[in-house]
Amino acid sequence: MIIDINKMKVNEIKDIVINTEQSIHDYDVQMIKDFICSLKNDTRKSVQKLAIKLDGSLKRYFKEIERVKNMYDFDKSYGEYKYIAGVDEVGRGPLAGPIVAAAVILKLDYVSYKELILYINDSKKLSVQKRQLLAEIIKNKAISFSIARIDNDIIDKKGISWCNNQVFIDAVHGLKVKPDFVLSDGYEIKNFDVNNKAVIKGDLKSASIACASIIAKVYRDAIMQKYAEKYPNYDFVNNVGYGTTNHINAIKMYGKCDIHRESFIKNIIKKS
């Protein structure tokens, strides 16, 4: 990033700063620091303000690196395992649609911070666009990933607790690489053939679980968007099956559809 800003207009410099902020992970840190220094030394106040702006972005970037490093280190803290999988589910509570789980094995022994998957988090804390972008990055960088689903008819027959446990098992067993250890979000997996540890709020602490959370959420949301086209009366495009006021009122007005969990909505139907 060797840029002579002396003859550049402020708007041109601003565009470079914005582009640098948006692609900060792709640049050499020292080059960014040198660029910030040249901005600070410029006589124009507006350019000096851009230096402050970019410097703030760089500090936030380093803070994010440390946050994600801690998540990777959390997973590694459980022992000298070759392959650690994180597993998480989405869709335990909705009135309609499947429960979905994802399992992810990451390369935890990174050499450079450039290998880290930054901005991973509890999927609910991320925007739709950020989740979708991260889901693709995770799939490309993961050693292995797997997604499993259990539909509403099985949820009604077996109960949500059984399905929650089983979809965890199915997701892990779907991995092409067998893990030596599994971290599961919130629940210890029962009747399971791999060493397992439950982590409360795991999608905030564990890199592997956070990645699983994101993949599962993006996958299930895509399913519900398709169902929204097939069953337009229930506002699935917005509620993805959860019991919002619009959704509950629609059930009262139109009754259930094929993807509703009858065991979840029986009291709603009785009152309608």
Using the predicted structure, report yes or no on whether residue 253 has a pLDDT greater than 80.
yes
Average pLDDT over residues 66-92: 96
pLDDT at 47: 93
pLDDT at 197: 97
Q: What is the mean pLDDT of the chain?
A: 94
CATH class of 84-226: alpha beta
pLDDT at 172: 98
Using the predicted structure, report yes or no on whether residue 3 has a pLDDT greater than 80.
no
What are the pLDDT digits (tens) for 132-188?
A: 999 999 999 999 999 999 999 999 999 999 999 999 999 999 999 999 999 999 999
Write out the binding residues for a divalent metal cation: 88-89, 185
Report the run of H or E that residue 190 belongs to, with start and end.
none
- Rounded to an integer, what distance in angstroms lies between the CA atom of residue 32 and that of residue 141? 25
Domain boundaries, the chain: 10-70, 84-226, 230-271
CA distance readout (Å), 104 to 18, 67, 139, 158, 176: 33, 19, 9, 26, 10
What is the model's pTM?
A: 0.91
Using the predicted structure, report yes or no on whether residue 270 has a pLDDT greater than 80.
no
If one compares 5 and 89, the residue with the highest pLDDT of the two is 89
Write out the binding residues: 88-89, 185
